[in-house]
Chain A
Amino acid sequence: MTAKSAQRSVALSITGLSKSFAGVRAIDNLSFEVPEGRAVALIGPNGAGKTTVFNMVSGVYPVDCGTIAVNGVDVTHMPSRKRIAAGVARSFQNIRLMAHLSVLDNLLVGQHRRNASIAAMLTPYRLVPSHRWKREALQALAESGLEAYAKENVGALPYGVRKRIDLVRATLAGANVLMLDEPAAGLNPTETNALRGDLQALKARGLTLLVVEHDMHFVDSVCENVVVLNFGQKIAEGPLSTVRQDRLVREAYLGVEEEA
């Protein structure tokens, strides 16, 4: 418990993390922290290992070595299912909404963490007109201006809309740390602006964000700090404006996103 109170201000802390796939190092001795209430971007070229970090934090992949702590609790060996209760939720690079469910139903599944009792599972809530759960999910949709899609099947929706719904679902578990994997990828400028608004609203609510993103304008407008990965190693860390001057970063990004 002393460890917990000492680290209270750190929402997510990664120490000495490594992971190999078939002998190839995807993540190499990576350490960084995300302070409570801040937004940090995890950037790097394609294949740098960003999604792999998310997968280890959320428990999809076991770590080879290193530790992961969420809100001061070591989750390194916690089953993936329990990590959302420890306070970390995520979205997916390749949108993983449940295709046969409506938008609203996807969001209701997202609420599970806060309604996990047997009694909640067996409540015939669909018989109740405007049940609390439904109102809450619709409210969250409305805050992103997406309420018109509530009854649609997710399979038929435009990419940008699905991407943003994936984000809304991640927020509904009540986790205080959100990991967003390329939330702006594939969005048109209007949608990107709306997304920026969504993320700023989340920050205003005190949530902690770890964002993987290739769009540096977007990163600049949302995140205070960036961590740069290349071949699984951290090559720079700090405010974007500083990191941008870094020689290693320039080499890693040669030809990529060098405007502005």
Chain B
Amino acid sequence: MVSQQIVNGLMLGSIYMLVAVAFTLAIGVLNFLNFSIPGLFMVGGMAAYGGVKLGLHWSLAFAGALALAALISLAVERLAYRPMQGGDPEAPLVSSLGFLVLLENLMLIRYGSDQQAFPPLLADMNLRIGDLVIGMAQLASLALSIALVVWLSWFLSATNSGRRIRTVAESGETAVLLGVNMSSLAPRLFVGSAMLAATAGILFAVNYQQVSPFMGEGVGFKGVAAMIVGGMGSIWGAVLGGLLIGMIEVLSISVIGANVVNITVYGLLLLILILRPQGLIGRPPSREKL
């Protein structure tokens, strides 16, 4: 049934969207392709699972997971982002991937490599509209993701901190000249982007009721794809790209089969990159001056 698929696609898409926004903050503002984000997504899901398993109330478990992700992200800023300024553009990739591997293996040591079942929070509360079944958890997640993005885009356009961030995104040099303090701004951006990724991980755990140390890879890479399809550095681009990729994934699974997902999703990414590298609603990169 198509409308059910659309609901499922939107749900998955809203998770990609959050991850894509997390990536876009790091790359659009700091020019840093932060591959630890899939790891932070996973930490969100796994740490929430660990907390609930310890008998904590879910709200405490979630808060703990978010705090943990934020702390780790500060370490990423210190060890992977800051020392690399002014070096090879590829170098930060190594350390941020190092963080992904580190986090995955730490979780592996703690919880094993198997999928773990995440306890249902809003178990059997479903909304039925005709044939359409929408889980309350799904609905709540969707609402939360959208609220987060709307808030973020308001924050960037209407507050002083937001304007500072946008100045940095326009040109790091100009921003420094205008007195923006990068060494205090960067850690905050890392925390913000980690919170988004970890929130996405928690929502994923709640909705699909399963977590594993490797849950970040598939979702994380699709989040990157979503960011680029929409337009790198643009929040609404990430939203559009996330929803589009989620929709395409769900529809191609139901129409053709699970094995073609990577062809359709990454085929679309490739096509966009060749035909319109700036993404659906991004701006083209500027030319250098001599």
Residues of A bordering B, CB below 8 Å: 51, 55, 60, 92-94, 96
A63 to B231, CA, bound (A): 30
Determine the interface band of chain B, counting residues with CB < 8 A from chain A. under 10
CB distance from B270 to the nearest CB of A (A): 27
Complex alpha-carbon distance, A92 and B290, angstroms: 8
Nearest-CB residue, chain A, relative to B88 = A100
Q: How far, in whole Å, are A76 and B290 apart by their CA atoms in the complex?
A: 19
Cα A130 to Cα B124 in complex, Å, equals: 81
Separation of A93 and B289 alpha carbons in the complex (Å):
12
Residues of B within 8 A of A92 (CB): 290
**CB-nearest residue of chain B to A181:** B290
- B residues in contact with A51, CB < 8 Å: 290
Sorted from nearest, which 3 A-B pairs have the closest CB atoms?
A: A60-B290, A55-B290, A92-B290
When chains A and B are docked, how far (Å) is the Cα of A200 from the Cα of B290?
27
Q: How far is the CA of A81 from the CA of B290 in the complex (A)?
A: 16
CB A14 to nearest CB in B, in angstroms, measures 18
* Majority-rule SS of B interface residues: loop
CA distance A51 to B290 in the complex (A): 8
A60–B290 Cα distance when bound, in Å, is 8
List residues 235-290 of chain B with CB under 8 A from any CB of chain A.
290
- From residue A55, how far is it (CB to closest CB) to chain B in Å? 6
Which residue of A is nearest B288, CB measured?
A: A60
> How far apart are the CA atoms of A158 and B290 in the complex, in Å?
21
Q: A55 — which chain B residues lie within 8 A by C-beta?
A: 290
CA separation between A209 and B277, bound complex, in Å? 41
> A residues within 8 A CB of B290?
51, 55, 60, 92-94, 96
Q: Closest residue of chain B to A52, judged by CB?
A: B290
A137 to B290 alpha-carbon distance, docked (Å): 26
Q: In whole angstroms, how far apart are the Cα atoms of A60 and B288 in the complex?
A: 10
A93 to B290, alpha carbons, bound, how many Å? 8
A-B contact pairs, 7 of them (CB 8 A): A51-B290, A55-B290, A60-B290, A92-B290, A93-B290, A94-B290, A96-B290
CA distance A51 to B289 in the complex (A): 11
* A120 CB to nearest B CB, Å: 28
CA of A229 to CA of B256, assembled, Å: 67
Chain B residues whose C-beta falls within 8 Å of the C-beta of A93 in the assembled complex? 290
Taken together as a complex, chains A and B put the C-alpha atoms of A116 and B140 apart, in Å, by 64
Residue of B nearest to A54 (CB): B290
Query: Distance in Å from the Cβ of A26 to the closest Cβ of chain B?
Result: 12
Q: Tell me the chain B residues, 169-204 only, with Cβ under 8 Å from chain A.
A: none
Alpha-carbon distance between A55 and B288 when the two chains are bound, in angstroms? 12
Q: A58 to chain B: closest CB distance in Å?
A: 9
Q: Name A93's closest neighbour in chain B (CB-CB).
A: B290
Q: How far is the CA of A94 from the CA of B290 in the complex (A)?
A: 8
Shortest Cβ distance from A59 into chain B, in angstroms? 11
In the assembled complex, the Cα of A90 lies from the Cα of B54 at a distance in Å of 70
CB distance from B37 to the nearest CB of A (A): 30
Alpha-carbon distance A219/B172, docked complex (angstroms): 38
A90: nearest chain-B partner, CB-CB: B290
**A69 to B290 Cα, complex, angstroms:** 22
